[in-house]
């Protein structure tokens, strides 16, 4: 089945550090990848939609200058948390949808990575 690899799985760093998280689709091409943030006991919150070869689409309230997204290829999207602060500590999860799902795209599942636990001290 479709596999999405997310790296690193855990990051602990000092306030002010920039952190890059990678999301790779291992055995399929993903025109679109999604980045989510999940706080304890909360649902996944969509941060942005990453489109290969174009700018990401950010959800309302998400600072695009703080959460930089690059989707340079059909199998890789990166999320960079710039100048991270303790309030940015969270569980970040990416997902990808199989390319070319056409009219029935909504019935194709999003395949999720295993997440990155970010802790800012």
Partner 1 sequence: KNQVEQSPQSLIILEGKNCTLQCNYTVSPFSNLRWYKQDTGRGPVSLTIMTFSENTKSNGRYTATLDADTKQSSLHITASQLSDSASYICVVSADSGAGSYQLTFGKGTKLSVIP
Q: What angle do CA 37, 40, 43 make, to 5 degrees?
A: 55
Choose, by CB under 8 A, the member of 13, 46, 62, 68 that binds partner 1. Answer: 46
Each residue 76-95 as x (binds partner 1 by CB under 8 A) or -, in order, gives ---------------x-x-x
CB atoms near residue 117 (< 10 Å):
15
54 binds partner 1 (CB under 8 A): no
The closest alpha carbon to 95, from 28, 10, 39, 42, belongs to: 28
Q: Which residues bind partner 1 (CB under 8 A)?
A: 4, 6, 41-46, 91, 93, 95, 102-103, 105-107, 109-115, 117
């Amino acid at each position: 089945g479709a596999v999405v690899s997310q790296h690193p799985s855990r990051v602990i760093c000092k306030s002010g550090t920039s952190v890059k998280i990678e999301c790779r689709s291992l055995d399929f091409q993903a025109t679109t990848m999604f980045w989510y943030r999940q706080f304890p006991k909360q649902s996944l919150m969509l941060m942005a939609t990453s489109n290969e070869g174009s700018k990401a689409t950010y959800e309302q309230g998400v600072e695009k200058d703080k959460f930089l997204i690059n989707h340079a290829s059909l199998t890789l999207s990166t999320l960079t948390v710039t100048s991270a602060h303790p309030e940015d500590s969270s569980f970040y999860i990416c997902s990808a949808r199989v390319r070319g799902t056409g009219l029935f795209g909504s019935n194709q599942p999003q395949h999720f990575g295993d997440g990155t636990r970010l802790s800012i001290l």
